[in-house]
Every structure is written in structure tokens, then in C-alpha cells.
Structure 1
Amino acid sequence: MKSCEKKWLVIFSGQDSPAMNMALDSIMWERARKNPDIAILRFYAWVPPAVSLGAGQLPEKLVNVDFCQHHGIPIVRRVTGGSAIFHDIEITYSFSSVNDEVFPGPSASYEKICEAISTGVKNLGVQLSFRGLSTGREPSFTSRDCFSLSSRYDLVAGGRKFVGSAQRKDKNSFLQHGSILLNIRKHFWQGIFIQRPDFEKISCLSDFVMVPLIDVILEQLAAGFEEYFGTKFTPDGFTRQEIDGARKLAPSFLLSCQKV
């Protein structure tokens, strides 16, 4: 299916609990899996701020669980891989579609979505590029946070990682989601991660421009997808049935210190 033949949906779902955010991503993926003529882009935020771990990671190997509990920082597990991320002052995106002519496979899909993100961030005044030469993909098991790691598909600004993304695929579809940092509260990052983050490798929007209103950021990011893929989004949302399903699913993503 070509880009012009797909129905492109965008969901601005606002703030939600960490476990609910993970559940809604899974529900969104399920919808895309069952409807091969659609592609879904979602933007959201985390309340309270939280740590998410890749599918195979152990919290005690990466994060200071006592620090997280003391500061009310939940720890959740993603369905995707990658390493630990502290979701704080950021925009999180997620995207799901079946594999087709537009998204023919994991690497091509990942690269295209990152290109669309890059186009949107350029609209905000920051030029991103792929890191390029590196050792390849992030290791599956690591004691480093996502933004201190390096892979060839990283989106970087001034050589420093700006967007952290991860993807999971099944036989016919995929889910990709990631963090676009707006600002960094270093004292939290230092307290959360067992291995000290390498801030020389990390960048955020406020390093380059005055951070606009959230609505402006979301508008420009969505416009980046429209420009890159040559399409137009239809605003959408979750049905009551989908929300109820996500609420039932949410506890399965929670690892510690949060009420769903």
C-alpha cells in the first residue's frame, strides 16, 4: 500500500500515568495490526515522570530503585527493546502500522520515522542528522541509559543524541516509540541511573532554542510527518472500549512504586 492510499491518524492524548501510557501504545499497535489501511501517530506525556526499561532489562542492573521509590518515580517496562529512559521534560511519540510498501521492514521503517521526526524538529529550529558510523544497534543488555549509548541510527544534534527510540515488530506490523527531550534535570538523571549518564553525549531542545509552547511543538512534529510522507493526518482518539482495555492491561507494565 502506498502512502497516499493509507489513512493517517494522529492522536494527541496528553498526560497519563506511565503504566497507562505503555498500555495505550499496545492498544494502538493492536488497532493498526487489525486495520492494514491505517497508520497511527501518537504524542503523549508522563505524569508523574517515570523510568521505562527495555523488554529484557532488569531494574536493579540499571536504576537506583530506592531513589526512584523515595522520589515517587515509577518504573515501567516497554514492549520494545532498547535501554532505560527517564521520561521527564519531553514529548513522547509512538507510531504503528502494518508492514507494506511504505514500511517494508524494521530498518527502513525505523529510518523513515526518524526522518519524519527530524523534519518536525527542523521546523522548531534544530537540525538533526543520523549519527552514521558506529558499532550498529544498541546492545540488548547494558548498564547505560539510552541517551548515553550510541548507534548509527541515533538522531543527533551537534553530535549529541537528541531522540531516543525503540521498535518492536511482529510478523506483519510494528510499534515504534521514542523520547524527544525538551530539557534535562540532571540531578534526577544522576540519582536514577546506577552508571552516571554521559551528559556530553546528550542534547535537548532547550540547548538550541527557546522551548515553544507544547501545542506548537506538537503541531510542528505532526507537520514533519505530513511533509516527509506527503500526507495529511486525521485527528483521532481512543474509543471507550480501547481505554477500558488499556486500564486492564496497565498493571502488567508496572515494575515498582506506582498506583495505576
Structure 2
Amino acid sequence: MQETWAFLDTGHHDAATNMAIDEALLHWHSEGKIAPTLRFYGWKKPSLTVGHFQNVEKTIDFSGIERHDCDFVRRLTGGSAVLHDDELTYSIIVSESHPKIPHSVNKAYYILSQGLLEGYRELGIEADFAYPERELLRDRSAVCFEQPAIYEMVVDGKKISGNAQTRKDGVLLQHGSIPMSFDSNMLFDLFKFSSERLRERQRNAFEKKAISIYDIKKKEHTYSMLKEAFLKGFQKSLNILTEPTELTKDDWHYIHHLAETKYRTKEWNEHRRKKAGSVSS
């Protein structure tokens, strides 16, 4: 019999609220209040999220964030900065002890990210992991900075999706971005560079290493189109049924409180975290 997971489409919110929802779902699942959950969401305006441990003082140009009117928030998960804009974002919240979830970080990524591959196939895009399965299933934690990360998905050698994962209170949270298009000019305006020449060189290098759905299909896609494709993808890959659910008034009260007291604070967002527990691509 197929297991039923909750499916939550929270629509478009600001960056602090989006991160607060993910943390709230993790907390509620750890308490047994909600089923394993697949969540889809978007962003009210361009938003830069930085990894749990990232030193933003050295890397992020906050004047660029102001110029582009971007949101800024630190994630629970690790990895480097991601600009969320024209995309569908997903999160998966499930117990570490769930029979579908391997103990190995690499293997868990491999299992959960199959839904992305299936979703891209629904759109007529043949994506694959940057590394073959035999490499993914090795218990190693990092690869050379200049090479694709072990969990990345690529099309024709170019990265198409970024994902991050953390485990807390016995619960696994994996979330990631599925870009419909990129604005590389905005992206590289949000970082510090020693010279404009270096900024331009890095931007050109990025455009050779990353690709969006629009770049591949040469036509615009909507949030609803991606929602339909990737919902089917995760249902198929995880062999689950999904039941649409909504947040209650009390749920939103908790989320807004968490957003205000944590994800909108300078203390959380601008200081580097120092404890381990997250990985990302």
C-alpha cells in the first residue's frame, strides 16, 4: 500500500517567512503533529539566502542587496549563497528513521533527489546527477571547489538545481531551488569582488556552468506548470500519494513569531554559525 504524505503549497512569501515555515514543519514533524511533508513555495521578491555557516561579512555586498531591493536571510542548511527569484522551491520534511531514508547523507540525497529527475522528465528535460550512482553512494563529504558538487544535477554538464539538507531533532529537512530563469547580473551584484573585471569574469564563468529551464526549453514556464510536473515527479520517485493540506491560523501565528524573532534578526542573519550539521550543493 502506498503511504500518504502531506502536500503543502504555501505560495509566495518573503524570505524570513519561507525559512520560518520550513523550520516550523521540521519542529511539528519531530513532535509527531504532522505527516512527512512535501512543500512547494515561491518568493515575493528576489531573495538571497546564505548557508548556515557562511561568513557574510567577507562575501556579501549589502549595498547590492539594497540596490536590487532583495530580501536576505540565513538558512538552517549549509552551503553557499543562492539567489531565489523566478523559480519553484521545494522542501521535504521526513523523519530520519523513516524506512525510505538512508542513514548516509549521500544516499539520502540520492533517494530524495530522484523526484527532481522525474519532475524534469515531466517537462521533457533529461537531467542527471553530476556524478554517477557509484560515486553518489560513497560516503564522502566534499569534492574540489572547482568541480560540480556531488549532489548537483546537470544538463549537458551544466548545473540545473541546487539542494541543501540538514538533520535536527530526528528529522531530515531537504530543500532546493528549481530555477525557471536566471538573472546573472543581479546575482553577481550581490557579492564583493576585488575588481569589476573579476566580477565580470566570474559572471561569465557562471553562465557557462549553470542553466535554467528557460535556457533549455526556450519558452517560459509558470509556477503552476512546475508545481504539476514536480509533484508527479516526487509522487513517482518516492512511491507515495499526497494529500493537500493547509496551515491553520495558529500555525501561521507560530510561523510569523518565528520569522520575527529569528529570521528577520540581524543576530541570526549576519553572524556566521559555527556548529556542524548541514550539507549542500
Same fold (TM over 0.5): yes
Does the 8 Å CA contact 1:54/1:78 hold for their aligned counterparts? Answer: yes
Q: Which residue of 1 aligns with 2:112?
A: 113
Q: Which residue of 1 aligns with 2:207?
A: 199
Segments of 4+ moved more than 6 angstroms: none
| TM-superposed deviation, 1:255 | 5.8
| TM-superposed deviation, 1:36 | 8.3
The answer to whether 1:15 aligns with 2:17 is no
The answer to whether 1:245 aligns with 2:254 is yes
Taking the aligned partners of 1:30 and 1:171, their CA distance within structure 2 comes to 8
The answer to whether 1:153 aligns with 2:167 is no
Which of 168, 183, 187 is equivalent to 1:170?
168
Partner SS for 2:115: helix
| TM-superposed deviation, 1:81 | 0.6
Does the 8 Å CA contact 1:7/1:37 hold for their aligned counterparts? Answer: no
Q: 1:185 to 1:37 in 2, by over 3 A?
A: closer
Match runs of 1:83-98 below 5 Å: 83-98=80-95
Once the two structures are superposed, what CA deviation does each residue of 1:74-109 show, in whole Å capped at 9, x if it has no partner? 210000111100111111111100022111323322
Taking the aligned partners of 1:44 and 1:127, their CA distance within structure 2 comes to 23
Of structures 1 and 2, the larger Rg is shown by 2
Does the 8 Å CA contact 2:116/2:233 hold for their aligned counterparts? Answer: yes
The answer to whether 1:47 aligns with 2:44 is yes
Taking the aligned partners of 2:249 and 2:110, their CA distance within structure 1 comes to 33
Read off the aligned partner of 1:177 and give its amino acid letter. H
TM (normalized to structure 1)? 0.87
Read off the aligned partner of 2:9 and give its amino acid letter. F
Which of 211, 214, 220 is equivalent to 2:223?
214
Does the 8 Å CA contact 1:138/1:150 hold for their aligned counterparts? Answer: no
Unpaired runs of at least 5, structure 1? none
Partner SS for 1:164: strand
Once the two structures are superposed, what CA deviation does each residue of 1:191-234 show, in whole Å capped at 9, x if it has no partner? 11235342211111001112333212101100001111222110
Does the 8 Å CA contact 2:51/2:79 hold for their aligned counterparts? Answer: yes
The range that moved more, 10-19 or 66-75, is: 66-75
Q: Which residue of 2 aligns with 1:254?
A: 264
Unpaired runs of at least 5, structure 2? 194-201, 267-281
Once the two structures are superposed, what CA deviation does each residue of 1:224-250 show, in whole Å capped at 9, x if it has no partner? 011112221101121221111111111
TM (normalized to structure 2)? 0.81
Q: 1:183 to 1:155 in 2, by over 3 A?
A: same
The answer to whether 1:67 aligns with 2:64 is yes
The answer to whether 1:226 aligns with 2:225 is no
| TM-superposed deviation, 1:70 | 2.3
Partner SS for 2:240: coil
Partner SS for 2:36: strand
Taking the aligned partners of 1:163 and 1:255, their CA distance within structure 2 comes to 28
The range that moved more, 70-79 or 106-115, is: 106-115
Taking the aligned partners of 2:120 and 2:246, their CA distance within structure 1 comes to 24
Taking the aligned partners of 1:126 and 1:189, their CA distance within structure 2 comes to 25
Partner SS for 1:38: coil
Match runs of 1:102-141 below 5 Å: 102-105=100-103, 106-132=105-131, 137=141
Once the two structures are superposed, what CA deviation does each residue of 1:33-75 show, in whole Å capped at 9, x if it has no partner? 2228821011111112110001011222222111112222121
Q: 1:47 to 1:24 in 2, by over 3 A?
A: same
Taking the aligned partners of 2:18 and 2:38, their CA distance within structure 1 comes to 14
Taking the aligned partners of 1:67 and 1:94, their CA distance within structure 2 comes to 28
The answer to whether 1:101 aligns with 2:99 is yes
Q: 1:245 to 1:190 in 2, by over 3 A?
A: same
Read off the aligned partner of 1:89 and give its amino acid letter. D
